[in-house]
Each structure stands twice: as C-alpha cells, then as structure tokens.
Structure 1
Amino acid sequence: METLGERIKKLRKEKGLTLQTLAGEVLTKGMLSLIENNKAKPSMESLAYIAGQLGVHPNELLEEVPTTELRELLQEVETLYKADLYQPDDFNPIVDKIEPYAEKLPYRYESARLLEIYSRCLYYAKLPDWQPVLERAETMYEGLHLVNNSADVHMFRAMVTFQQHEYAEALKMLQDSRRFFEERNAVIDSLKKLDFDFLEAILYFAVGEDAEALRVLKEGIDYSRERQIYYKINDLYRVMSFHAILTNDIERKDYYVRKLRLFAEFSEDEKIETTLDLLEAHYLISFAHEYDKAEKIIDSNLEKYKDEEGYDAFYLEKGKVLYHKDNLDEALKWLQQHKISDYLHHPYDLSMNYEKDAYLALIYEQQGRHDLAVKHAAIAKENIEPMLDLPYKKFILDVYRQIAK
C-alpha cells in the first residue's frame, strides 16, 4: 500500500510534473524530494499546497487508501471476478489482492463493493471469516443508502443457505428480506426485482411448492414483457420449460423452448442453444424414449465442445442413451467420465445427476458384477432419498429394489 510520499510522487508523474514544477515558489525542490521519499512530513499548509498543485483534495493524499488507488483496485478486481471461476483456488488471486486493504478501507462505495467481493471470494474459496466481512459491506451500503447493493447482500446470504441444501430456511430468509425492503419503502430497481423473483421461484420449486413457483415466474415474465426488459428472461423460460418436462406438459415445454430459441437467436447467445440441446436430449431419453434423436443432439455438442471443460452433463446423457441402445461397455466409459459439479445444489439438478449411479448399477448387474451393482444402487438410493418426489426418484428406487432384492 502506498505511503503519502509515494502517493504524491505517483500523482506528480501521472500529471507530467517535474519536482521543480510541483514545488513551485512555496516549497524547495529538495524539501519536496524528502517528502516524496518519506524522509520528511509536510505541514498541513504544505500538504494543502501540494494537493492544489496536483488538482486533488488534501484528504485524498491523507487517506490510507486514496480514491484513485481504490478505484484502480476495484476495476482490476471486478474484471477478475467476472471471469469464469469454477474451483475454490480460482478465487484466491482476488482474495490476495483485496486482503492487504481490507482493514483500512475508507467509508465509500468502492470500499463496500470490495468488501462484498472479498467476502464472496472467501466463501467460494472455502476460507473462514467471510461473514463479518459481508456484514461490514452491508453496513456501508446501508449507510450510503445503496439499496440495490444491500439487496444483493441479502440474496447472497439466502443463496449460501440454499447451497447448504437448507431449502426451506433459504426461502424464509429471502421472503424476510423482501419484507424488510418493502417495510422501509426502499425502491429496488427492475433488474433487482427480477433477481428476487427468479430466486424465490427457484426456492419454491426446491421445497415442492410448484404452484407458488409458477405464480412468481409468471409474474416475472409478465413484468419483463410489460417493461420490455430482457434481463433474466433466459432463466425464467428455461425453468418453466424444465418444469413442463417434469410434469409431462409437452405443449408448454415446446412453447417455452421455442421462446428460448428465438431469444438465443436474438441475443446471439450460444450458451442458451447448448442448454436447450441438453434439455431436449434429456427429454428424449428420459421421457420420450427417442434414443436416436437424442444421440444426434448429444454427439453434435460433444464434437462442438470436445476441447472444452464443463460439459459433463452431456457425458451422462451419452452414457444413458448408449445403455438404452444395449452398448453397455461404451455406456460405462461415458458414465465414468461424468462428475457432478460442485455448483449444482437444486433438487432438480441433483436428482437428474444422481441417476448416474443407478445406470452404473444396471450396467454392472448385466455384466455379472453384482457386488458393484449393489454398491452403486445403494449410492443412488442414499443420494435420492432426501430429494423431492420427481420421476428420477422413482427410477432410482426401482433400480435399487430390482438389484438389491
């Protein structure tokens, strides 16, 4: 972190001033050199003069973390934070950049945002003491009347509880947060309202309150249409289409998939197309039993993303389709490559992925490897038992009863 002298020198050079020019007629060149090298401290009068010459407020020179340095740090950190970060270690560089400043940040927006990012990165890096840091950020946001930023903190806390699979508690926390802002007549912007709507719907689905989830989703979609806001529309339609698959409402599924295809074309977002391909392949295998159609979609994506990571869900669907086409050895290879992402926490996502061990059990049983079959059937059963009563649960429990009888 910069000293007062280093700060003066940096600003002088940024403005293209020589020592003599900055010293002017008030200071000597030698005295200014001593100040810049931390061998002398300026009087308040000298400090005010230097600040005037540099075009900044004296407080900016005196702050332990000056405004310019703070803004540069935040800009750098925001760029790093927006990158694709997947593993706990990915967050350590951000933690390392903010940590030296954490205890000396002045009371302003940039500091609050840095503390918020620092807290989130500590959490994702699985490091301790992220909660007190988040509380400091929230206190600053509230003191500065930054309502939308405070709302982000509330939603993050609810998401942490959700990621601990405490779904009912996470829903209660989110609803309490919404009431908190409503009772204060706080004005939350449209995008933040849609964030709340989407998260609340997801949590309703997680506790099995589908009717409430659909109500909130519909309100969010209607709100977006009325105001011509496209933010979150991808997520809203995607969840609606997946729920339609689970309830065997194919007409509704096709409706939302068509909407998403159009939105993907409009936004030129390739990730939406990939998500829709995965959704369609999953539907064709697990619900429509049209294995050839599903395999074409899967193979197209596996070829397209063969050199990239993060497409494990296609490995699972590939293994499933090969099992149903009686290609057990190849199915086994694909299923063994599949790993459940650490970022999957919703009962829908987990239940889908827990099918893996049930399929492994079926393959091992047909290969005459009964002990392995029982082992994986038991793993699938143990994983699925706390989950909602979705079609995946019935399939997994049926496999367990078939193999462990």
Structure 2
Amino acid sequence: MAVEIWPRLAHDELKRAVEVSEKRELDWLIEALHETLTDLKHGLEHCYSLLAPIDPGSTLAVSTPRNEVVKGYVTRVGTRIVKGTIHVRLRTLPPQTLTIDPDHPIHLAPLTSLHTFLTQAIDLLGITLSYSYPTAHPPPRTTTTSSAQFLAAQLRLLSQSLLEASSLLKGPPLTTSDPTWTSRSIAPSHFLPPPNPTHPSPLAHAANGVPPLSFHLGIQDSCLVLWLRSLEPADAPVNFGTKLALAIGTTRRLEHDEAEKTFGFCCSHDASPAPTDDGRGGGPVTRHASFPAGDVPLSGRRPVDVFVREKVRIETADPSLLSLSSKLAALGRTLAAARRNLAAVMGEEEDREGEDA
C-alpha cells in the first residue's frame, strides 16, 4: 500500500515541506526535553544527598554469619568510615579488637570518586539547562542545528558520568577478589591505640615491615565489603616443627584462592619512612616486580613480598548505597531514552556510547 500526498507537490516543494516538518518536530522534542532534564537534575541531587556527610550516619554490622570469627560494627558518614569496633578471632592470629580512630577516619576511595562523578553530572546538567533553556518557561523558538548538537553532546557526557558512577557501586565481580588490597589496605594510623612500643596497634608493622593483618574496605554490588587477610613475609623462615607437621599431615595450611601466591604488599598512606634505595645500591625504588601493574604504592614504601595465610570476606548491605544504585539505574534508563529520541529526530545513527549494557 502506497501513501500519496494530495494535492501533489513538486519535488522541491516536498523537500522543503519535509524539512519544515522535521524542524518543527525537533523544536517540539527539545522543548519537551526541558522537563526530562529538570527531573534528571532533581534525581541526581537526591542521589547526591544519599552520600552527604549527615550525622549520625549509617551504622552497619560487620560480622561473619553463623560464627564468631568477625563481630563488630562501623559507622559510615558520607564517603568516610568515622568509627567502629571489630572483634577478630582468626585461626592464624591471636584474638584482637580493631577500633577505628574517630580523629583519623577511613576514606572509601570508590565513594569519593562516586561523589566526584555526581558533582560533575549535576554541574553538567546545570550548564545544559542554562544554555538550552535560558528561562524557566522558554517561549517557542527556532532550534538551530548547532544547539541540538550541543544538547546531544551534553547528554552523551552525562550518560558517561552516570555509567562511571554505576560501575563504582557495582565494583569488581563477586567471584573475584579486589586486587587493590595490596596497595590500599588501611594503614595502622587509622586505628587505636596508636602504634608505640608499649601499646602497639593491632596492625602495627613488625620488624620486617609487614603487618600481621591486612584490613581492606571496598564496594561490591552496592554493599560494603571488608577483607581481612593474615599476612606472612615470603622470606620468613619456617621452623623444623612446622615443616615436619606439614610433611606428616598433622598440620595443614588453610586453603583459599590466594594461598601459595606471592603478593607485593604496602599499606596505603603509611607514615613509616620510605627507603632511599633497594638495598643493593641501585638508587630509589619506584616499583616492585610483584606489585600490580599500574598501581603505585601510595605510601612511598617499597612493597614487601608476602603470603596470605588466612582470608576472610564480610559483606554488609548498606541501604543508602542500594537505594543510590537503584536510583542511578532508573536515571540512566530515562537518559538513554531521551538520547535515542533525540538521535532519531536529528536523523543520526543511535549512539550507545556511555549506556549501560
């Protein structure tokens, strides 16, 4: 079945009529997008408020289910863990209590980056609204090609920011460990009592520069995840009794996915002095062979090779982060629909860059 226009129009007149119709449709769509972008801005501001440092914050239980290996709590205010007490009873270490110093809170790097992306997204929407819609109720106007392209480019940047924010909340896959623990484990200075000869911190460095316990916090699937690892220097001598017990089977090493692997370990922001050379006169140390590629130790110390004797993972659901993740996903879908509509009216190929798969 064919569709014909009556009365018939000449080819040039028909072409001009199509252009006028497409122009009117683009004008209408851009005016309609004003309400969509305003709602997106309000939604992002609500997401921003979920990360705001408002007291008393969120108190989260940090405990292993069905056993007493790890029992305690932490309090998150914004992007920081400001206080908490955790009792640890690992099989390879004496029982100990870890108390977070309120004067030296722990900054969660994924949430700090997420805060930055949300700030950028809100600022970007503010610029877009002020440029494309000068007043709260803009009068009908003729949309130029350049203004439509500017709006499309701004929405693409916004989509990329939302995707990055969602990726930070999703974190690494649940089936894998976060490799950043080797360089971003929490330094002893964040815990009480402070390290000193008479009252050493539970995470204080031993004489060989390796703390007995790695305390690492991360985000996976919008949940706060704590990894505790009992560490042992790779070059530590094994006494004859342990060797014999392992040989005859009376003692067994704990089995986990990081057993028998060597890691280059260095605490984040460690206050200990950094060595000036590698001990062989080779000049300043910049990277260790076993240190993860692209991850430079923040403390300035040379990473030390360690084994992971024992490993415990504790996952804690955070209602604010779960709500934030759902909100970002909904905003991402709304933005994707707006971008598809704009691309279709502009006659451009659909751009899926920055959209969540």
Q: Which interval holds the TM-score relative to the shorter structure?
A: under 0.3
Q: Scaled by the length of structure 2, what TM-score is found?
A: 0.19
Higher normalized strand content (fraction of residues): 2
Higher normalized helix content (fraction of residues): 1
The structure showing larger relative contact order (alpha-carbon pairs under 8 Å, at least 6 residues apart) is 2
